[in-house]
């Protein structure tokens, strides 16, 4: 079926299934999110801009809390973090998974209790460890043998720190090879296969100031199936049983990470938290019963699944160009605010907003403004054939791993973040200006 034929089928070209639940259609081709017109946001805050639906973020936090009432649910800050997001996550009762002193200190200064945080990182700088100990982070996940003595020395002989060990469970899952982290051929974690995990555990148990409370694993990202997580739990419980037998230590916690997949385009699969909770709970109880272990407290770390579908990116069309059989639509953002298509080949579903079009669809490639041939935001997507400079494009599922991985390429300032909720829009993060960029350059 051609894109023109798809456009003629009711509900196909106009599918809002991957948009925030608060999204409504307005007259003349407009959309509102959180009760606020996206076109009005573009006029008020300029473009490119990122819109974050507070109600969607909170609703997704609650969905996880309802699905995992007995577990520790930690929001993965690396997906996107700001003071407002810290407050929303805190008020919804989630913990925080942080990966740097920057994320940790931002959260603490915004009022988040550090004891509800977990610090990750395959190579933690001394400053990160110092900040975690100074602020009282709840748990530090040890990722390599060299961290053990360094952390123990930083804690000091009279100190105490709860730790976990990141284990590679030998489960391969994820939407792209660059985000598969559950096997031995990548930089994260310690392997039970070569004995490095068991050796590290033995060394930790020999450090009285370090309290080993559990194991951690993270098998990958953008995973839409439950079975890989079930397989990881099975293997982790097996290792916990071997630790009990070898060291007479029963670990009380098991963190199975995050990586929960979301749909970026209509029809794509997404991981269901309720189905995940059911599968994990069933396997955990059965595996622990078979091993004669008490059931440890489960922890999970959703990030993308909470904030990703709550975000919308807004761009203004700058140029439309026909090159051979291809139609290029160039916008005022690109890989500096969203490197994911270049990194992982992610595909989005941009939409014309702000005006109605009766034109048939045409397959277009939406590109950014940067000096890279790989600066493509969305390849081979249907847009009205009469798309023109000045039009607005909105890209849903833009809340995760876009601004958090944004760069200063071409000295293009990063876009602002605007929250919407119950008909009100407010600025959360201002637009990075040329003055901001100049202020860092002290050479003369």
- Reported as a single tens digit per residue, the pLDDT across 325-338 is 889 999 999 999 99
Q: Is residue 20 located within the same domain as residue 64? A: no
Confidence of residue 359 (pLDDT cuts 50, 70, 90): very high
Please give the mean pLDDT across all residues of the chain. 92
d(CA 417, CA 428): 5
d(CA 426, CA 416): 11
The DSSP symbol for 346 reads: -
pLDDT at 182: 41
pLDDT at 176: 45
- Section 129-149 average pLDDT: 96
- Reported as a single tens digit per residue, the pLDDT across 175-229 is 545 444 445 566 678 988 888 899 999 999 999 999 999 999 999 889 999 999 9
- Reported as a single tens digit per residue, the pLDDT across 53-65 is 999 999 999 999 9
pLDDT at 185: 66
Q: Is 210 a domain residue?
A: yes
The DSSP symbol for 412 reads: P
Q: Is residue 274 located within the same domain as residue 201? A: yes
Q: Is residue 88 located within the same domain as residue 192? A: yes
Alpha-carbon 210 to chain mean position: 29
pTM over 0.75: yes
Q: Is 248 a domain residue?
A: yes
End-of-domain residue from the set 308, 340, 364? 308
pLDDT at 180: 44
Domain count within the chain: 2
pLDDT at 3: 39
pLDDT at 173: 60
Find, among 399, 336, 435, 315, the residue nearest to 52 by Cα. Answer: 399
Q: Is residue 390 located within the same domain as residue 330? A: yes
Burial (CB < 10 A; 0-12, 13-18, 19+), residue 203, is middle
Six token digits for residue 88: 């929303």
d(CA 49, CA 63): 27
Q: Is residue 36 located within the same domain as residue 75? A: no
End-of-domain residue from the set 242, 275, 308? 308
End-of-domain residue from the set 274, 291, 308? 308
Please give the residue range of the domain that contains residue 32.
3-53+309-439
3-state secondary structure of 234: helix
> What would the DSSP string read from start to end of 206-272?
T-TTEEEEEEE---BSSB--SHHHHHHHHHHHHHHHHHHHHH-----EEE----B---SSTT-----
3-state secondary structure of 410: helix
My answer on whether omega of the bond before 403 falls inside 30° of 0, hence cis, is no
pLDDT at 42: 98
Q: Is 29 a domain residue?
A: yes
Q: Is residue 173 located within the same domain as residue 232? A: yes
Backbone angles phi, psi at 53, to 5 degrees: -85, 105
For residues 214 and 233, the answer to whether their CB atoms sit within 8 Å is no
Q: Which residues have a catalytic role annotated?
A: 371
d(CA 87, CA 373): 39
427 forms beta bridges with 418
Q: Is 331 a domain residue?
A: yes
Confidence of residue 324 (pLDDT cuts 50, 70, 90): confident
Q: Is 444 a domain residue?
A: no
- Reported as a single tens digit per residue, the pLDDT across 360-372 is 999 999 999 999 9
pLDDT at 8: 35
Q: Is residue 213 located within the same domain as residue 278? A: yes
Q: Is residue 143 located within the same domain as residue 194? A: yes
Q: Is 283 a domain residue?
A: yes
């Amino acid at each position: 079926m051609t894109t023109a034929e798809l456009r003629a089928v009711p509900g196909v070209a106009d599918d809002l299934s991957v948009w925030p639940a608060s999204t409504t259609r307005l007259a003349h081709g407009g959309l509102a999110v959180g009760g606020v017109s996206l076109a009005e946001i573009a006029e008020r805050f300029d473009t490119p801009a990122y819109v974050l639906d507070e109600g969607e973020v909170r609703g997704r936090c609650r969905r996880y809390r309802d699905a995992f009432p007995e577990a520790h649910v930690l929001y993965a800050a690396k997906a996107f973090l700001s003071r407002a997001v810290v407050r929303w996550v805190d008020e919804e009762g989630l913990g925080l998974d942080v990966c740097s002193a920057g994320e940790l200190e931002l959260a603490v200064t915004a009022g988040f209790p550090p004891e509800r945080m977990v610090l990750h990182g395959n190579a933690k700088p001394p400053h990160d460890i110092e900040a975690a100990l100074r602020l009282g982070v709840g748990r530090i996940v040890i990722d390599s043998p060299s961290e053990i003595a360094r952390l123990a020395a930083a804690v000091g002989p009279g100190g105490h720190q709860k730790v976990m060990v990141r284990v590679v469970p030998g489960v391969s899952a994820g939407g792209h090879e660059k985000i598969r982290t559950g096997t031995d051929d990548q930089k994260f974690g310690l392997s039970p296969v070569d004995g490095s995990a068991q050796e590290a555990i033995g060394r930790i148990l020999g450090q009285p100031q370090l309290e080993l409370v559990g194991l951690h694993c993270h098998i990958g990202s953008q995973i839409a199936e439950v079975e890989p997580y079930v397989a990881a739990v099975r293997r982790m419980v097996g290792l916990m049983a071997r630790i009990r037998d070898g060291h007479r230590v029963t670990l009380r916690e098991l963190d199975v990470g995050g990586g929960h997949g979301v749909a970026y385009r209509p029809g794509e699969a997404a991981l269901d938290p309720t189905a995940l909770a059911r599968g994990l709970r069933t396997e955990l109880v059965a595996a622990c019963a078979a091993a004669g272990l008490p059931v440890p407290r489960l922890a999970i770390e959703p990030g993308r699944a909470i904030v990703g579908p709550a975000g919308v990116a807004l761009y203004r069309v700058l140029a439309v160009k026909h090159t051979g059989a291809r139609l290029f639509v160039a916008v005022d953002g690109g890989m500096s605010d969203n490197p994911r298509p270049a990194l992982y080949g992610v595909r989005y579903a941009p939409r014309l907003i702000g005006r109605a079009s009766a034109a048939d669809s045409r397959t277009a490639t939406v590109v950014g403004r940067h000096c890279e041939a790989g600066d493509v935001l969305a390849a081979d997507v249907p847009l009205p054939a009469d798309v023109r400079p000045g039009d607005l494009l909105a890209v849903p599922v833009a809340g995760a791993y876009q601004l958090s991985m944004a760069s200063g390429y071409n000295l293009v300032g990063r876009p602002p973040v605007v929250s919407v909720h119950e008909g009100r829009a407010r600025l959360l993060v201002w637009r990075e200006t040329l003055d901001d960029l100049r202020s860092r350059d002290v050479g003369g």
